[in-house]
């Protein structure tokens, strides 16, 4: 959620170990329905995050309070629950370990895209301008389209040069599981699981921020 990108960058500057991990898991059946779960994990930096959360502002960046974060998340959940094709919306905010999760069921890939669109509207970002999914049931092909946006690099440029190396251990992980075997996938850095029913992709946050890697992928299932 780019609204809190500045906060994540500040946290990264204060952390001497792994900054954060963002994990996105999609479980989809061959008919196009499934679930999506997003997890933001700051637990490795929880001591310094706790100190940061006590501040209202750091280096000109507003730090949201626990109350504000809870209110924002509650509004997201209300909006998602009223979105067509989305159901079973669940979330958890763990302020002891600083782990946030959000999940829901989607009836089809259009609803999956509406999930991103809903978050874009709530947080006044443009998630859908660089990320969208498609599924061709006839050819059993699932694809993700991704276009790099320079806004991430713009936010990252605010971090002092000496502190950017602290993001070296921050990662984005994408796991997509199916109920059928996978025939092929096109991303050079992604891997097909041993049971042939999942695709695993893990990339450095800095590579996404700087645009040196892409999330575009085409996955073809065995008919």
pTM: 0.84
Query: Is residue 176's pLDDT more than 70?
Result: yes
Q: How far is CA 151 from CA 36, 69, 126, 171, in A?
A: 25, 22, 10, 18
Range 4-21 average pLDDT: 48
Q: Whose CA is closest to 114, among 86, 77, 134? A: 86
Q: How far is CA 14 from CA 46, 164, 181, in A?
A: 11, 11, 43
Q: What pLDDT is recorded for position 68?
A: 81
Question: What is the pLDDT confidence band of residue 58, given thresholds at 50, 70 and 90?
Answer: low
Q: Are 215 and 157 in contact (CB under 8 A)?
A: no
Query: Is residue 87's pLDDT more than 90?
Result: yes
Question: What is the pLDDT confidence band of residue 127, given thresholds at 50, 70 and 90?
Answer: very low
Which segment of 30-44, 103-117, 151-165 scores lowest on mean pLDDT?
Answer: 151-165
**Number of domains present in the structure of the chain:** 1
Question: What is the pLDDT confidence band of residue 164, given thresholds at 50, 70 and 90?
Answer: low
Q: What is the rounded CA–CA span in Å between residue 18 and residue 16?
A: 7
How many other CB atoms are there within 10 angstroms of residue 11's CB atom?
23
Query: Is residue 118's pLDDT more than 50?
Result: yes
The rounded mean pLDDT for the chain is: 81
Query: Is residue 69's pLDDT more than 70?
Result: yes
Q: Are 99 and 43 in contact (CB under 8 A)?
A: yes
Q: What pLDDT is recorded for position 34?
A: 97
Higher pLDDT, 222 or 223: 222
| Domain around 138 | 2-221
Range 133-149 average pLDDT: 92
Question: What is the pLDDT confidence band of residue 64, given thresholds at 50, 70 and 90?
Answer: confident
Higher pLDDT, 61 or 1: 61
């Amino acid at each position: 959620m780019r609204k809190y990108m500045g906060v994540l960058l500040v946290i990264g500057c204060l952390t001497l170990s792994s900054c954060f991990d963002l994990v996105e898991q999609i479980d989809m059946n061959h008919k196009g329905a499934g679930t999506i779960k997003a997890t933001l994990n700051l637990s490795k930096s929880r001591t310094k995050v706790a100190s940061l959360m006590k501040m209202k502002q750091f280096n000109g960046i507003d730090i949201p309070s626990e109350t504000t974060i809870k209110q924002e998340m509650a509004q997201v959940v209300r909006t998602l629950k009223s979105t067509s094709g989305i159901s079973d919306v669940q979330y958890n905010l763990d302020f002891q370990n600083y782990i946030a999760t959000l999940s829901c069921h989607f009836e089809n890939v259009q609803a999956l895209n509406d999930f991103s669109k809903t978050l874009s509207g709530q947080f006044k970002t443009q998630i859908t301008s660089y990320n969208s999914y498609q599924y061709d049931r006839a050819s059993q092909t699932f694809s993700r389209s991704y276009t790099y946006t320079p806004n991430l690099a713009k936010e990252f440029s605010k971090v002092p040069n000496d502190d950017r190396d602290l993001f070296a251990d921050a990662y984005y992980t994408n796991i997509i599981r199916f109920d059928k075997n996978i025939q092929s996938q096109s991303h050079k850095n992604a891997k097909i699981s041993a049971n042939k029913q999942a695709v695993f992709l893990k990339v450095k946050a800095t590579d996404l921020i700087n645009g040196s890697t892409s999330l575009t992928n085409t996955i073809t299932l065995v008919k």
